[in-house]
Amino acid sequence: MNKIKSIVTEVELKKNQYFNNLSLLTGLNIDEKIELMPIDYPLHIEVTLDQLKQTAIENRKDLLAHKTMIESEESALSYNRMQIIPEMSFTAGYKEQADNLTGTVFQFNVAVPLFERNQAGIEESEIQLDLLDKESIFLKEKIKREVSEVYKRFISKKNIYEKSKENKLESIYTTASYSYEQGEIPLVDFIDGMNAYVDGLILRTELEIDVYSSLFSLEDAIGKEIINFEK
């Protein structure tokens, strides 16, 4: 019983810690009654690893931000290339001189140099764009590796968790209680049975937390909720 009381106390402390963190992040008043509900989130994923990788490439905000930088630099390069064409102006007018010489006059102006204009700006934009393209390739490969690692971790955690559910913990409790009531086992054996039951519940809960944490990490890696994957 002391062990169970100790575990309950530890759980209460952790719950209060989580509520304090929640209050700090959201401004939620933890003194108000909070309804706790079990997680109703499917663990079965009907998508392939390649689909998850492609989803990450399409949805990751860091990659989308990098794509915006590339588009901005492409616009800068287009602008710099337009500066190759020199500015030109054409003026027409009527001129009258003191010697009574009159007539229409034309003036054509063009900026110099005529060729190799704004090469420094063009080269700078091309270099920057090339660097951004290489960074984009590196970032995509990094994201794919991250998704692959997180996915494998989730599958491993999921298999361990589902395997743990095959152990019928309730039968341990029922058997120990019934055997003790019938006088078939001494108190020491009954306590051992209860300890095994409690330890099993703790382990299963920890495995459940691990598998859902790995699932949420996978969602972070692909930039989308698994439950809304088809939407």
Q: What is the pLDDT of residues 19-45, one digit of tens each?
A: 788 778 777 676 666 676 767 777 888
Higher pLDDT, 22 or 230: 22
Highest-confidence segment of 63-77, 92-106, 116-130: 63-77
Which tens digit of pLDDT belongs to each residue from 159-173? 999 888 877 878 888
Q: What are the extents of the domains in the chain?
A: 44-228
Q: Which pLDDT does position 115 carry in this prediction?
A: 52
Of the ranges 17-21, 88-92, 113-117, 132-136, which one carries the lowest mean pLDDT score? Answer: 113-117
Position 127 pLDDT exceeds 90: no
The fold adopted by the segment(s) 44-228 is: Outer membrane efflux proteins (OEP) (1.20.1600)
Where does the pLDDT of residue 187 fall: very low under 50, low under 70, confident under 90, or very high at 90 and above?
Answer: confident
Lowest mean pLDDT among 32-41, 45-54, 92-101: 92-101
Nearest to 54 by CA among 66, 63, 42, 45: 63
- 8 A C-beta contact, residue 49 and residue 148: yes
pLDDT greater at residue 27 or residue 194: 194
What is the model's pLDDT at position 9? 81
